[in-house]
Chains A and B, each alone.
Chain A
Amino acid sequence: MWGRCPPLPEATLVIRGGTVVGPEGTARLDVAVAGDRVLALAESVDPPSGATVLDASGCLVGPGLVDLHTHLRQPGREEAETVESGARAAALGGYTALVAMPNTEPPIDSAGVAREVLVLGQGCLAEVAVAGAITVGRAGVALAPMGELADLGVTLFTDDGAGVQDGALMRRALDYAKGLGVTLAQHCEDAALAGGGAMHEGSWSGRLGIPGMPAAAEEAMVARDIALARLTGAPVHFLHLSTAGSVDLVRRAKAEGLAVTAEAAPHHMLLTHALCAGYDPVFKVNPPLRTDEDVAAVVAGLCDGTIDAVATDHAPHAPEAKDLPFDQAPPGMLGLQTALLVAWEVLSPQLGAARVFALMSAQPAAIARLTATDARPAGHSAHGGPVEAGATANLCVFDPAATTVVEAGRLASRSRNTPYAGRTFQGAVRHTVLRGEPVVIDATAQR
Chain B
Amino acid sequence: MTGATSQHLLSVADLGTDGIAEVLRVAEAFAEVERRSVPKVPTLRGKVVATLFFEESTRTRLSFETAAKRLSADVLSLAVASSSVKKGESLRDTVETVEAMGIDAVIIRHSSSGAPHQVARWVERARVINAGDGWHEHPTQALLDCFTVRQVLAERKGVAPQELGIDCFDGLRVLIVGDVRHSRVARSEVLAYTALGAQVTLAAPGSLLPPSLEGWPVEVAGDFDAALGDADVVSLLRLQAERGSGSYVPSLREYTARWGLTARRVERLADHAIVTHPGPMLRGVEIASDVADMPRTVVTQQVSNGVAVRMAILFLLLGGELPGVGEVPAVA
A328 surroundings in chain B (CB, below 8 A): 112
B197 surroundings in chain A (CB, below 8 A): none
Q: Say whether B134 faces chain A, with CB atoms less than 8 Å apart.
A: yes
Which of chain A's residues has its CB closest to B213's CB?
A206
CA distance A327 to B115 in the complex (A): 9
A325 surroundings in chain B (CB, below 8 A): 91, 110, 112-115, 118
Q: Give the Cβ gap from A421 to chain B, nearest Cβ, in Å.
A: 14
Given contacts A209-B135, A209-B137, contact A201 B211 (CB under 8 A): yes
Are B113 and A279 within 8 A (Cβ)? yes
Are A323 and B211 within 8 A (Cβ)? no
Are A320 and B90 within 8 A (Cβ)? yes
CA distance A258 to B117 in the complex (A): 47
Are A205 and B212 within 8 A (Cβ)? yes
Are B133 and A209 within 8 A (Cβ)? yes
Which of chain B's residues has its CB closest to A328's CB?
B112
Chain A contacts with B in 192-209, Cβ cutoff 8 A: 201-203, 205-209
Q: Give the Cβ gap from A280 to chain B, nearest Cβ, in Å.
A: 8
Are A326 and B113 within 8 A (Cβ)? yes
Q: Say whether B92 faces chain A, with CB atoms less than 8 Å apart.
A: yes
Are A205 and B211 within 8 A (Cβ)? yes
B110 surroundings in chain A (CB, below 8 A): 325
Main secondary structure of the interface of A (DSSP, over half): loop
Contact with A along B188-227 (1 / 0, CB 8 A): 0000000000000000000000111111100000000000
B214 surroundings in chain A (CB, below 8 A): 202-203, 206
Contact with A along B97-111 (1 / 0, CB 8 A): 000000000000010
B184 surroundings in chain A (CB, below 8 A): 209
Contact with A along B267-285 (1 / 0, CB 8 A): 0000000000000000000
CA distance A206 to B135 in the complex (A): 9
A51 surroundings in chain B (CB, below 8 A): none
B137 surroundings in chain A (CB, below 8 A): 209
Q: Say whether A438 faces chain B, with CB atoms less than 8 Å apart.
A: no
Which of chain B's residues has its CB closest to A203's CB?
B214
Q: Say whether A324 faces chain B, with CB atoms less than 8 Å apart.
A: yes
Q: Say whether B310 faces chain A, with CB atoms less than 8 Å apart.
A: no
Which of chain B's residues has its CB closest to A201's CB?
B211
Given contacts A320-B90, A323-B90, A327-B134, contact A210 B113 (CB under 8 A): yes
CA distance A144 to B211 in the complex (A): 38
Q: Say whether B187 faces chain A, with CB atoms less than 8 Å apart.
A: yes
Are A207 and B215 within 8 A (Cβ)? yes
B92 surroundings in chain A (CB, below 8 A): 323
Q: Say whether A93 faces chain B, with CB atoms less than 8 Å apart.
A: no
Chain B contacts with A in 14-63, Cβ cutoff 8 A: none
Are A278 and B117 within 8 A (Cβ)? yes
Q: Say whether A212 faces chain B, with CB atoms less than 8 Å apart.
A: yes
Q: Which of B91, B113, B211 contacts A208 (CB 8 A)?
A: B113
Are A214 and B112 within 8 A (Cβ)? no
Are A324 and B91 within 8 A (Cβ)? yes
Q: Give the Cβ gap from A242 to chain B, nearest Cβ, in Å.
A: 17
Are A209 and B211 within 8 A (Cβ)? no
CA distance A214 to B212 in the complex (A): 11
Q: Say whether B150 faces chain A, with CB atoms less than 8 Å apart.
A: no
Q: Give the Cβ gap from B122 to chain A, nearest Cβ, in Å.
A: 8
Are A208 and B112 within 8 A (Cβ)? no
CA distance A278 to B110 in the complex (A): 16
Are A207 and B117 within 8 A (Cβ)? no
Contact with B along A117-148 (1 / 0, CB 8 A): 00000000000000000000000000000000
Chain B contacts with A in 223-259, Cβ cutoff 8 A: none
Q: Give the Cβ gap from B21 to chain A, nearest Cβ, in Å.
A: 23
Which of chain A's residues has its CB closest to B187's CB?
A209
Q: Give the Cβ gap from A342 to chain B, nearest Cβ, in Å.
A: 25
Q: Say whether B127 faces chain A, with CB atoms less than 8 Å apart.
A: no
Q: List 14 A-B contacts (CB under 8 A).
A: A201-B211, A202-B212, A205-B211, A206-B213, A207-B216, A208-B114, A208-B136, A209-B187, A210-B113, A212-B211, A324-B91, A326-B113, A326-B114, A328-B112
Give residues in B with beta carbon < 8 Å to A.
90-92, 110, 112-115, 117-118, 121, 133-137, 184, 187, 210-216
Q: When A and B form their complex, which 5 residue pairs have the shortest distance between CB atoms, in order from nearest?
A: A279-B114, A325-B112, A209-B136, A209-B135, A206-B210
